[in-house]
Amino acid sequence: MNEQQLALEIAKGLVETGVEGPYGCVTCSTAGDYPSMGCSQWEGIGGRGDLLLSYIDGGDQFTGRAYSDIEAAGELDALSALLESEQGQAAQNMILADDCRDKYLPALAEVDGLTNPACIIYAGIWCPTSHYVVQKFLQRRRDRGYDINSLDAMRDMFRDEYAIAADCADYMEGYANRANTTYDYVAALGVSA
């Protein structure tokens, strides 16, 4: 698979598995009082969430606002509907494709020896958590002798070790579910090394 095909498969995987959330998802960021939105949980208030909203007609009414402000105004459903709209989905797909091509694949290319397209897609679906953390996680596992080109080993590593390595032990169960869901999705693609 070439780079463009890999980027497309990662983006499709994120949307189809819903591991970051559906198009209309709006939650409060765990990092602060701002919205985390859409199929890749882009974060607002001056961040990539505001960029996403700038591509959607009516999105400017939510830019620069705290999650608690949007919630208190009773506008969470309106923001969700905006993100779920045809234009909202198109904007998310565009940004997601850019992220996969410009951020996730270059980060994964820095992992020595990662060559199996299925494993690249699998790791790419984890990259929205932090492509820097995913890159370091895989490199360290490879350096310790893990087979980073085995889809089964990839699932086991992310299921059993990623939450701790990413300093997110509170999310261990959710990350284990994500590891299994992502594995099932990528295995069903039938991509060979």
| pLDDT tens over the chain, length 193 residues | 889 899 999 999 999 999 999 999 999 988 889 999 999 999 887 788 999 999 999 999 999 999 999 999 999 999 999 999 999 999 999 999 999 999 999 999 999 999 999 999 999 999 998 999 999 999 999 999 999 999 999 999 999 999 999 998 888 999 999 999 999 999 999 887 6
pTM of this structure: 0.88
Residue-level pLDDT at 47: 82
Q: Return d(Cα 39, Cα 138) in angstroms, integer.
A: 24
The DSSP code for 28 is E
Residue-level pLDDT at 87: 97
| HSE (side-chain half, CA atoms, 13 Å) at 110 | 13
- Enumerate residues 6+ apart whose C-beta is below 8 A from 44: 34, 35, 36, 37, 50, 53, 62, 63, 64, 65, 67
- Environment class of 164 (CB within 10 Å of its CB; exposed 0-12, middle 13-18, buried 19+): exposed
DSSP bridge pairs for 42: 37
Q: Return d(Cα 125, Cα 119) in angstroms, integer.
A: 10
